[in-house]
Amino acid sequence: MRKPSLKDWAVYPALGWTALFFALPLAAMLAMSFAERVSGAIVYSGTLANYIGFATRSDGALVAALANSIEVTLIVTALSILIAYPLAYILAYRIPPRWQRLLLILIILPFWTSYVIRSYSWLLVLSENGVINQTLLALGLTDAPIGFGNTRAATILGFVHFFTMLLTLTIYSNLSQIKASYRLAAADLGASAAQIFLRVTLPLSLPGVGVGAFLTFVLAIGDYITPQILGGSKELLLPQAIMLQIGRTADFPMASALSMILMLVVSAAFLVSARRLKMDRV
Amino acid sequence: MAEPLVRIAGLRKAYGELTAVDGVDLDVAAGEFVVLLCPSGSGKTTILSMLGGFTEPDAGRIEIAKEDVTALPPARRPTATVFQDYALFPHMNVAANVGFGLAMHKVEKSERLSRVTATLAMVGLAGFGGRAIHQLSGGQRQRVALARAIAVVPKVLLLDEPLGALDLALRRQMQEELVQLQKRLGTTFVHVTHDQEEALSIADTVVVLNKGRIEDMGPPRRVYLRPATLFTATFMGESNVLPGQVAEATANRVGVETALGILRSEGSAAPGAAVHVALRPEQLAVAPAADRQALGRARVIDLTFQGNHLRCHARSTNEEGTPLLLRLPFDTPIEIGNEVAIYAKPTDAVVLTR
Amino acid sequence: MRRPFRHLPAVAYMLLMAVFIFLPVAVLIQYSFQNGMLPVPPFKGFSLQWYAKVFQNDRLIAALRNSVVVGGLSSLAATTLGFLAAYGLARTRPHAAAAMQFALMAPITVSYLIIGMGLQIVSNQLGFEKSLLLVGIGHVVINMPIAFAILYSQLGEHQANVERAAHDLGASDWQALILITVPMLWPALLAAFFISFTLSWDEFVIAFLLSRFDVTLPVVIWSMLRTGLNPELNAAGTLVFATSIVLVVLVELLLRRGRRANG
């Protein structure tokens, strides 16, 4: 037998880090979600009170937050795909190859603005004196400024802006890997442009769409900044509700329970998209 | 044979269900050019990898110069490998690549430089030391890989399909250069390939492998003309293989009853045994001669002109309609549909018992 | 037959998208130069006063320094750990390789908010103070999978053969690592580092939950935001954006160089 070498243990520091600072905190959170607060102190009593409280709270605010989150995220995912797909398509098939990469980098440049700053910028654009209202007023399309801020629409707009860029990236990289010969072969066999798209290009690009959609769903449903800055607190999304539990009342057991529910939703999304992707490959 | 330099005994390696090497025994003499030949994925690269120390055998032992190296890491074996993809260090220039092994063996710098220069000259790359790897052609990279391996003066040089990525003309040229280099260095070469022609033209000893076992080994001429097994007869070039039954047997001659008549040739087998008789396409003729035996008549089905010869598919007019492949002189007056008489020297026929 | 307007819909769509995507950034940058108190129309002329204010803002400068330190160190740790994991996993292929890979990639599917809160709960229980160290630990957790994925994709069979060649010629494990593997992967290592840095530089929620007195740039920007619209924020945001762009261009150039060297 050989001596164990550097290569044999190289994987363990990273695994250890993940165990200590990722798995352990998640486990602590899971335990915390079954705990209760007794006069300020945390008692691990194995209670289901947090989960029951989530479902039965009289004002229904927490269930509503979950419903809002899922609704907003699904709308954002769908809209972003609808907007990004044509953009990625034009980029992959209508732009000469040597310009594609440069143009792609340009298109997703604002992707790299700070998360906080990006939402703030939309706040500027949407404000009562902002560019959009000023333009609408100048064109005579409205008599008084429209209050876009602190609405669900503003949250969705902010999200769609970001995820359009992300999805353009994933869909483009998928489209550009589909060999031109497939489309040429379909055309050669008599398919029209629409038929080529529907029967060749679109099915082959679905894995890219699926990966992008999953990423969008996961990132959007867990984001606190965008809804907090653009949507305000009139209508809460789940991450805002979680932050409220921590911030205002330091109710870590309830925050943990809500986080577990959030993870459950993400896992479900993962299972759905994984199954879809597998079916597409067949 | 004198005391062998490399001695492989009972070597075995399985990957899950797949047995890549299934009990191989092989001795290699010092200064010998051995070629391991087998269809793709039949364990030859695994044997080489175990010789080099990159793969641990499940069983068996490897000795080099009487030292058991089975458990030694690559760095401590007297072997050097030329990899199939060359595995050159892309961030170093040619001289640094060739000098790497010497640096690892703590050879002093001035001596290192002179040995690098000499080695590069030996592979025909004098003056290329300062070039970057990505500036080289495929053939030049191949030479750098060779130079890098011989620079450390290994006892055994292992070559893993080193010519596989080169085009045909360059491959033939490199084969000749490899043989010359090996003669000049006197180093033992163990070379792996799936190209039969390459094996025949460069080897002192060809080792034919199939399903992880040695089918046949010996000088190329013997392996080609008197293959030991049915697999070798069909894998090493084309053969007409006729099933038959031993009708008569003496000490070292047998007569085999086949669809084309009784063929008497060298060999030994028990009377009544089912065997095969192999004849190379060029050993069949359509003209009689003193030492040729008539094998009945056949109809020409297909003819292909191949420059220096005619490739001819025919079907015997006997009951079985035995298909035959012939390689005839290019000026043979023959057309598709002709019926011709078939002849062969019975002593050319190889009797295969397995 | 030539159809002069064939490309019109595509061009129109591209332009529309360009406006949509660049509108907020353009407005942000334009009003960072506003010669007035409000970062909204009308534009009252060009001024660098808000940049001057940013550079005089001690909290912002301190946060900038914190962000660079946290980003730099956490990215270094994430890249090192990710590289070692990729190296070990690609080379030795332990029996549990698939499970290990899954475990290493798992943090990617969990929201930053949850990762940050988990660390907060554990450090609370153990009685640790909130600090930039905790923020850095959290950033390593989120960036290590990305560094691992980038580097793992580079460690293919060819790379393995090159290392085998080095061993064959007498190199020890360490010599092969330092002389061959690291130099060959240098562009990918730098790319992993800078991507980690960009993500750490921009990360808000973990930094918000795990820091108290010393904070990072996004957290300061967040607290400035709560006081309302302010051109100083535009200036700060423009600077942060410019930094990210420089890093992204750097990564692109590195990856391009890496592709050329190996291709």
Contact C169/B87, CB-based, under 8 Å? no
For position B331, what pLDDT does the model report? 87
Nearest residue to C65 (alpha-carbon basis) of C234, C216, C172, C237: C216
Nearest residue to A30 (alpha-carbon basis) of A257, A279, A282, A264: A257
pLDDT band for position A281 (cuts 50, 70, 90) = very low
Average pLDDT over residues B276-301: 90
- Any bridge partners for residue A253, and if so which? none
Angstroms from B89 CA to nearest CA on chain C = 7
Share of chain B above pLDDT 90, in %: 57
Minimum-distance CB partner of B81 among C168, C186, C262? C168
Q: Which of A41-50, A115-124, B98-107, C55-64 has the lowest mean pLDDT?
A: A41-50
Q: What is the mean pLDDT of chain B?
A: 90
pLDDT in tens, B250-264: 878 888 988 888 888
Angstroms from B271 CA to nearest CA on chain C = 53
Amino acid symbol at C68:
V
For position C1, what pLDDT does the model report? 46
Residue of B nearest to C263 (CA): B134
pLDDT in tens, B14-29: 988 888 899 899 999 9
Question: What is the β-pairing status of strands B323-329 and B33-37?
Answer: unpaired
Query: Among positive and negative, which fits the CA dihedral B37, B41, B45, B49?
Result: negative
Residue of A nearest to C19 (CA): A107
Interface of B with C (CB under 8 A): 52-54, 73-75, 79-81, 83-85, 87-91, 100-101, 104-105, 134, 148-149, 152
**Chains with ≥3 CB–CB distances under 8 Å to C:** A, B
On the 0-12 / 13-18 / 19+ scale of CB atoms within 10 A, B313 is middle
pLDDT band for position A207 (cuts 50, 70, 90) = confident
- A6–chain B Cβ distance below 8 A for any pair: no
For position B42, what pLDDT does the model report? 63
Residue of A nearest to B55 (CA): A2
Contact C164/B54, CB-based, under 8 Å? yes
pLDDT tops 50 at residue B62: yes
pLDDT band for position B249 (cuts 50, 70, 90) = confident
Share of chain C above pLDDT 90, in %: 47
For position A278, what pLDDT does the model report? 57
Q: Which of A28-32, B35-39, B259-263, C97-101 has maximum average pLDDT?
A: A28-32
pLDDT band for position C141 (cuts 50, 70, 90) = very high
pLDDT in tens, C18-41: 999 999 999 999 998 888 888 877
Interface test with B, best of A1, A2, A6 (most B CBs within 10 A): A2
Residue of B nearest to A2 (CA): B71
Contact B89/C184, CB-based, under 8 Å? yes
Average pLDDT over residues C64-70: 94
pLDDT tops 50 at residue A282: no
Angstroms from B83 CA to nearest CA on chain C = 7
pLDDT in tens, A215-269: 899 889 999 999 999 988 888 999 999 999 888 778 899 999 999 999 999 888 8
Minimum-distance CB partner of C161 among B87, B100, B101? B87
- C171–chain B Cβ distance below 8 A for any pair: yes
For position A137, what pLDDT does the model report? 84
pTM metric for this prediction: 0.82
Contact C204/A115, CB-based, under 8 Å? yes
In chain B, what are the helix, strand and coil shares in percent, each to the nearest 5?
A: 25, 35, 35
Minimum-distance CB partner of C113 among A112, A124, A239? A239
Interface test with C, best of B84, B91, B116, B150 (most C CBs within 10 A): B91
Average pLDDT over residues A76-88: 95
Report the SS3 class of residue A42.
Answer: strand
Q: Which of A31-40, B92-101, C184-193, C235-244 has maximum average pLDDT?
A: B92-101
For position C109, what pLDDT does the model report? 85
pLDDT tops 70 at residue B201: yes
* Nearby residues of C201 by Cβ (< 8 Å), 6 or more positions away: A114, C67, C71, C217, C240, C243, C244, C247
Interface test with C, best of A17, A105, A135, A217 (most C CBs within 10 A): A17
In chain A, what are the helix, strand and coil shares in percent, each to the nearest 5?
A: 75, 0, 25
Contact A129/C18, CB-based, under 8 Å? no
Q: What is the mean pLDDT of chain C?
A: 88
- C257–chain B Cβ distance below 8 A for any pair: no
pLDDT tops 60 at residue A150: yes
* Nearby residues of C56 by Cβ (< 8 Å), 6 or more positions away: none
Angstroms from B166 CA to nearest CA on chain C = 17
Average pLDDT over residues B30-47: 85
pLDDT tops 70 at residue C94: no
Angstrom CA distances, B301 to B4, B326, B334, B337, stand at 51, 11, 11, 6
Cα(B247)–Cα(B242) distance, integer angstroms: 14
Contact B100/C171, CB-based, under 8 Å? yes
pLDDT band for position C108 (cuts 50, 70, 90) = confident
pLDDT tops 80 at residue C102: yes
Q: What is the DSSP string of C63-77?
A: HHHHHHHHHHHHHHH
Tell which phi-psi region holds residue C86, choosing left (phi > 0), alpha (psi between -120 and 50) or beta: alpha
For position C67, what pLDDT does the model report? 93
Half-sphere exposure of B217 (CA within 13 A, CB side): 17
pLDDT band for position C259 (cuts 50, 70, 90) = low
Contact A1/B71, CB-based, under 8 Å? yes
Query: Does residue B147 contact residue B122 with C-beta atoms inside 8 Å?
Result: yes
Share of chain C above pLDDT 70, in %: 94
Contact C241/A239, CB-based, under 8 Å? no
Residue of C nearest to A165 (CA): C21
DSSP tag of C179 = I
For position B118, what pLDDT does the model report? 94
Neighbours of C91 (CB within 10 A): 20
Cα(B191)–Cα(B160) distance, integer angstroms: 6
Query: Does residue B275 contact residue B249 with C-beta atoms inside 8 Å?
Result: no
Cα(B205)–Cα(B160) distance, integer angstroms: 16
